[in-house]
Amino acid sequence: MKRISLLLTSFALLVAVLLPGIKAEAVVDEKLGVPIVVYGANLSEAELDSVRKSLGVENDTEVEEIYVDGSDLVNYIPDGNRNARMYSSAKITRQEAGKGLVIKIVTEENITQVSADMYGTAMLTAGVEDAIVEVAAPKKVTGHSALVGIYKAYEVSGEKLDTERTDVANDELNLATKFAEDAGIDKDKVAELLTEIKKEIADKNPATREDVEQIVSEQLKKLNIELSETDRQLLIDLMDKIRNLNIDFGKLSDQLSDFGDKLKEKIGEIDPGFWEKVKEFFASIFESVKSWFN
């Protein structure tokens, strides 16, 4: 029994070494300011409490809290519905330039249409960068209004977004969810498709719609994704809009390359050799236990 206890203790120490500091004490970055939490204006008091708990800020005084409503929606999305109901909420923590975007949906069961990667690729189109973004909702919602909240929080932190870009980013998010919901394409695959097409646009700087169409066709084939002709034309229309936006495509290319790499990262792959080390550890346990009976 003592041997078993010793082995279990050793395994716990191994995990502690390989996955250090999962939860660390929060530190306020005095240059970038405190995190900003933006709540959907239609949340009830009970729902607000639920969202605060989900985002881990129910007892946190080192955050700035704001609200987002229909007037904000039409500010960033001119053709949006001013009477739209806003429930999904977000916490945004600015990072140093070059750190990139990290997006996490903390209530995955309640955000039914939008994935973290869909938020990420749309945010890059809109001009949001270098931030940790956490999204939450107290009940099942599509998740679209969180993007408006993220825009507002980002601007409150001192940046200025181009409304033409935020409008197109909203079109991108709508099309992404359409592909996932109606065409049955995996959400991660949709995000990968959008990211790869934008990377090609950033790298090749296409001069015409026909050039964009060629890029779209190549990426659809490369990723083995089949779209109806209607959806294919919608995708070409969207990417042609992105081509014509006032974007620093050199900078966007770097951001998209980084984001594309992050798309491939999943929980458990922080250290690619982690599971191999675990396998080796348990193999050694098996050999040790075997030796007790020889």
pLDDT confidence band for 59 (50 / 70 / 90): confident
pLDDT at 229: 96
pLDDT confidence band for 294 (50 / 70 / 90): low
Instruction: Report yes or no on 291 lying in a domain.
Output: no
pLDDT at 15: 46
pLDDT at 71: 93
> Which of 72-86, 245-259, 272-286 has the highest mean predicted lDDT (pLDDT)?
72-86
Which carries the bigger pLDDT value, residue 61 or residue 193? 193
If you search the block for the tokens 């909240």, which residue do you land on? Answer: 149
Domain count across the chain = 1
pLDDT at 278: 44
Instruction: Report yes or no on 168 lying in a domain.
Output: yes
**What b/e string do you get for 172-194 counting C-beta neighbours within 10 Å, with b at 16 or more?**
bbbbbbebbeeeebebbbbbbbb
pLDDT tens, 144-184?
A: 989 999 999 999 888 899 999 999 999 999 999 999 999 89
pLDDT at 163: 93
For residue 20, pLDDT over 90 is answered with: no
pLDDT tens, 198-252?
A: 999 989 999 999 999 999 999 999 999 999 999 999 999 999 999 999 887 776 7
* In contact, 147 and 141? CB cutoff 8 Å: no
Instruction: Report yes or no on 276 lying in a domain.
Output: no
pLDDT tens, 78-121?
A: 888 899 999 999 999 999 988 888 999 999 999 999 999 999 99
For residue 272, pLDDT over 80 is answered with: no
Domain that holds residue 76: 29-269
Which carries the bigger pLDDT value, residue 102 or residue 278? 102
For residue 4, pLDDT over 80 is answered with: no
Instruction: Report yes or no on 17 lying in a domain.
Output: no
Six-digit token pair at 24?
């660390």
H helices of the chain, in order, are: 2-18, 45-54, 70-76, 116-126, 145-156, 163-181, 187-204, 209-222, 229-243, 249-263, 274-292
Instruction: Report yes or no on 179 lying in a domain.
Output: yes
Instruction: Report yes or no on 90 lying in a domain.
Output: yes
First to last CA, the chain: 17
pLDDT confidence band for 267 (50 / 70 / 90): very low
Six-digit token pair at 72?
């904000």
pLDDT at 165: 94
Instruction: Report yes or no on 8 lying in a domain.
Output: no
How much is the average pLDDT of 44-62?
A: 93
Instruction: Report yes or no on 2 lying in a domain.
Output: no
